[in-house]
Amino acid sequence: MKVIHKINELKEIIKEQKGKSIGLVPTMGALHEGHGSLIKKSVEQNDFTIVSVFVNPVQFGINEDFDKYPRTLEKDAKLAEELGADVIFNPSVDEMYTDTQELTLVCPPYSAINKLCGKSRPGHFDGVATVVSKLFNITQCTRAYFGQKDAQQLFIIKKMVKDLNFNVEIVPCPIVREKDGLALSSRNTYLKDDARADALKLSKALNYAKELRKKGVNDKQMLCDSALKILEGTNVDYIEIVNPETFEDWQETDKRALMLIAAKIPPTDTRLIDNMEI
């Protein structure tokens, strides 16, 4: 496996793969088993797999954790190689963006971004859509793999691919959880002692809402309030229920419902997200 830092060098390697299927796993590094599941699926489904490791400054807001976001390239490369990846693409910020101040951005529809994570992180999804578009163009991938934990991101990327006619198949991959239910996240490394117990409240709240729905509870406010009680002790950003197919607000007559939670975990205010179809 090769670790490539330059776009032109990666493009030369891609030229050599003519006629082969290329899988792309876009990441910001600090790889865990969740990322590993994406890499495994790409290796199974494609002739050649590229794992991008790039902490993208354009998707971070002011006072977010860009500077302290975990960077573990050596460990990431070892895991990716063990799982069968062919290349890690690890560009510098200057390699990806000649000018972040006057950058052409890909801007998803306001209806898709002015809610949930986009509401509390203005500009975040412009940055995500822009870097993903660049990665699609650079790698010329056949398929790209995204985890369902970032449900809003996945919805936006699928819409972008459709609207902008990218010749890429988006492959959604299930959330990977630890035995106690905590959704895997690179930011879990920030959690210490009691903070981890508080982080578990996200999955507990989702599972409780799911059980209520099984018992016939379809009142949106009741479902959200019940989840909110379990989340006491965390700083809740949002609890929302949407239609998983349209990402519009869930109507109590809809058969399918996706509950999404974002919360900051004291004392470091580590921001975690989770979701579950209830």
DSSP string spanning 209-268?
Answer: HHHHHHTT---HHHHHHHHHHHTTTSEEEEEEEE-TTT-SBPPTT-S--EEEEEEEETTT
| pLDDT at residue 192, rounded to an integer | 87
115, two tokens? 């809610």
Nearest to 40 by CA among 19, 16, 23: 23
Q: Which of 149, 238, 236 lies closest to 185 in space, CA to CA?
A: 149
In the three-class reduction of DSSP (H, G, I as helix; E, B as strand; rest coil), residue 64 is classed as coil
**H helix and E strand count, the chain:** 10, 9
Q: What is the pLDDT of residue 194?
A: 87
Per residue in 158-172, pLDDT (tens digit) is 999 999 999 999 999
What is the average pLDDT across 90-108? 93
What pLDDT, on a 0 to 100 scale, did the predictor assign at position 63? 85
Does pLDDT of 278 surpass 90? yes
Give the mean pLDDT of 50-78: 95
pLDDT digits (tens, 9 = 90+) for 201-211: 999 999 999 99
Q: Are 110 and 123 in contact (CB under 8 A)?
A: no
The SS3 call for residue 278 is coil
Please report the domains of the chain, with CATH numbers, ordered by start residue.
Answer: 2-173 (3.40.50.620), 186-277 (3.30.1300.10)
Per-residue pLDDT for 75 more than 90?
yes
Per-residue confidence at 64, pLDDT binned at 50, 70, 90?
very high
Q: What is the per-residue pLDDT for 39? A: 98
Give the residue numbers annotated as catalytic, written as ranges: 35
pLDDT at 109 over 90: yes
**CA-to-CA separations, 257 to 183, 202, 206, 212, in angstroms, rounded:** 19, 17, 12, 13
Amino acid at position 37, single letter:
S
Beta carbons of 11 and 141 less than 8 angstroms apart:
no
In this prediction, residue 62 carries a pLDDT of 87
pLDDT at 100: 79
Q: Give yes or no for residue 137 having a pLDDT over 90.
A: yes
Give pTM, 2 decimals: 0.95
Chain segment 226-270, per-residue pLDDT in tens: 999 999 999 999 999 999 999 999 998 889 999 999 999 999 999
Residue 99 in this model has a pLDDT that exceeds 90: no
